């Protein structure tokens, strides 16, 4: 019997509504989106367009009010929170604008953290974390805490942390938003290399139209709706 090939992530008629007292606010309105393995997708839109909510849905950090989200062909609404957390932890690595590093931990300890929740043996997780910190050019900063690192270095630690469980998908939310132009360029170069050399699926959420040039597929979001999906031919 031939095995069915599923999209990596598929959103079908996804609505997300928030309720404030008796007032309802539709933040996402019937979103349809397919993301295939190995794509570099940029989701772009102005402030208030629903990008953060979209990121939470694409990253299966939240369930929709209505509609369906499938991750590797599995409807996430059928999973327990524990099973969903395990699936998400193995499938998706997150990179955030605010870095979200734990200030009391070293770079090495921050990178190893996600592997603890996946029950990876200590020697294995330390070896993997050291390898990744070398890869992002921070081999000499492993024992430094976040306040001893520049913004660009902290974001590279965050990228290493996102990769430590070898996820299929890297989901980056405004990854250059708090960085100077040089550090931002370095971060985007790392993400581009992960796509072209490692075959990772990259999903980048941003308001910065300059970053569209990295994408194969650009999803334009406005007022909670996908207004256009454009294939991008990179030079």
pLDDT tens digits, the chain, 235 residues: what are they? 444 578 899 999 999 999 998 899 999 999 999 999 999 999 999 988 999 899 999 998 888 999 999 988 889 889 888 888 888 888 999 998 888 999 999 999 999 998 887 778 888 989 999 999 999 999 999 999 999 999 999 999 999 999 998 899 999 999 988 888 988 898 899 899 999 998 999 999 998 889 999 999 999 999 999 999 998 776 4
- Asked whether residue 88 is domain-assigned, the answer is yes
DSSP per-residue letters across 2-20: PPPPPPSEEEEEEEEEEEE
Q: Is 17 part of any domain?
A: no
The answer to the question of residue 12 being in a domain is: no
Element (DSSP H or E) covering residue 96: strand 92-96
What CATH number is associated with residue 168? Answer: 3.40.50.300
Range of the domain at 199: 37-63+80-231
Number of structural domains found in the chain: 1
Whether residue 2 lies inside any domain: the answer is: no
Within-domain flag for 132: yes
Confirm whether 20 is domain-assigned: no
What are the residues facing 197 on neighbouring strands?
Answer: none
> Is 24 a member of any domain?
no
Q: Residue 113 burial by CB count (10 A; 0-12/13-18/19+): exposed, middle or buried?
A: middle
1 belongs to a structural domain: no
């Amino acid at each position: 019997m031939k095995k069915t090939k599923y999209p990596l992530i598929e959103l079908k008629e996804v609505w997300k509504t928030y309720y404030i007292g008796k007032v309802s606010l539709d933040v996402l309105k019937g979103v349809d989106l397919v993301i295939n393995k190995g794509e570099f997708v940029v989701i772009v839109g102005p402030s208030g367009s629903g990008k953060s909510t979209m990121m939470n849905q694409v990253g299966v950090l939240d369930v929709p009010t209505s509609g369906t989200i499938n991750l590797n062909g599995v409807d996430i609404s059928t999973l327990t929170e524990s099973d969903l957390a395990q699936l998400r932890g193995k499938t998706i690595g997150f990179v955030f604008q605010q870095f979200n590093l734990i200030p009391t931990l070293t770079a090495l300890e921050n990178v190893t953290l996600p592997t603890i929740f996946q029950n990876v043996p200590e020697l294995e997780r330390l070896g993997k974390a050291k390898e990744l910190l070398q890869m992002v050019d921070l081999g000499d900063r492993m024992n430094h805490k976040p306040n001893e690192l520049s913004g660009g270095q902290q974001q590279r630690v965050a990228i290493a942390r996102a990769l430590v469980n070898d996820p299929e998908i890297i989901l980056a939310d405004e990854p250059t938003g708090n960085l100077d132009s040089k550090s931002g360029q370095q971060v985007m170069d790392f993400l581009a290399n992960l796509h072209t050399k490692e075959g990772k699926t990259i999903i980048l959420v941003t308001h910065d139209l300059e970053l569209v040039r990295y994408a194969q597929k650009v999803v334009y979001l406005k007022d909670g709706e996908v207004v256009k999906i454009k294939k991008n031919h990179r030079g």
